[in-house]
Amino acid sequence: MNAWLPALLAYGAALVLTLALAARLTPRGWWRRANLRAFAVVAGGTLALGTLFGALAGLGASAPPLALAEPLPAPAPVTLVPEAPPPTRPDAGVRYRVVDDLNLRSDNGVGAPRLRVLAAGTVVRATGKVDGDWWQVRARVDGAPVEGWASSLWLRRADEGHGR
């Protein structure tokens, strides 16, 4: 007989006995719908009685540990390629490229009104004004000059390429 079969039988019998005792010894209202108390009674009773049945059947320390048929292969090493972080403070007049569609806002912060959306690849120039991760930038959109605030997390120096 397999080593795990007696343990399975012990816990199966414990579950049946727990359900029978719970139906007999607890208020009927506990079982009208699933709740944490009912789960705790069934899980706790099954664990306690299953452990008791296993000990009485001699399944304690003498039971062989379960083993995998084959050892798991070592996980492949993960190499993360970090994105180039934006500079901490932009120099006025330096060109930056928008990495992904970006909201240009009238002031710094996500709560400020959106002036327009700058498409990925749009080139902007920093004015040099900074508030945390928010930079004031200038761009030409549809031939018209616009100025507003953008999150620097979506900007990369234009001379660094188009990648993310």
pLDDT digits (tens, 9 = 90+) for 21-43: 888 888 877 777 778 888 888 89
Predicted pLDDT at 74:
79
CA dist 44 and 38 (Å) reads 10
Q: How many CB atoms lie within 10 A of CB 45?
A: 17
CATH fold for domain 95-160: SH3 type barrels. (2.30.30)
Region label for 138, one of left (φ > 0), alpha (ψ between -120 and 50) or beta (otherwise): beta
Residue 33 has φ and ψ, to the nearest 5°, of: -150, 155
Handedness of CA 85, 87, 89, 92 (dihedral sign): negative
Q: Give the residue extent of every domain in the chain.
A: 4-56, 95-160
Mean per-residue pLDDT, 40-64: 79
Cβ(148)–Cβ(136) below 8 Å:
yes
pTM summary value: 0.46
CA dist 98 and 155 (Å) reads 5
For residue 162, what are the contacts with CB-CB under 8 A and spacing of at least 6?
97, 121
Among 9-23, 67-81, 119-133, 139-153, which is the least confidently predicted range?
A: 67-81
Angle between helices 36-56 and 4-25 (to 10 degrees): 130
pLDDT digits (tens, 9 = 90+) for 63-96: 555 555 677 777 777 766 556 555 567 878 899 9
What 3 state SS string does 27-57 have?
A: CHHHHCCCCHHHHHHHHHHHHHHHHHHHHHC
